[in-house]
Amino acid sequence: MSDDATVTPADLARELRVTPKRVRDILRAKDGTLPAGESRWHLTDEQVAHVRAVVGRG
């Protein structure tokens, strides 16, 4: 995914009709917290697919 197409938890939450907090909770359960020095999630294709799969099961 290029920088131009960076997906954030808020973007994905709107698409999936869940809260951004729900998306971040799913990400933290899988990947832990953000790396030191990072303040925002910039999701990889793998992370996006994982969140979509989890929400789809919910």
Domains and their CATH numbers in the chain: 1-30+41-57 (1.10.260)
CB neighbourhood size of 23 (10 A): 27
Over residues 6-23, the mean pLDDT reads: 96
Phi and psi dihedrals of 3, rounded to 5?
A: -60, -30
Degrees to nearest 5, angle at CA 52 with 51 and 54: 65
pLDDT at position 29: 97
pLDDT at position 5: 74
Phi and psi dihedrals of 43, rounded to 5?
A: -80, 140
CA separation, residue 21 to residues 4, 10, 26, 56 (Å): 23, 9, 9, 16
Query: Global pTM?
Result: 0.83
- Read off the pLDDT of residues 15-52 as tens digits, 9 standing for 90 and up: 999 999 999 999 999 999 988 898 999 999 999 999 99
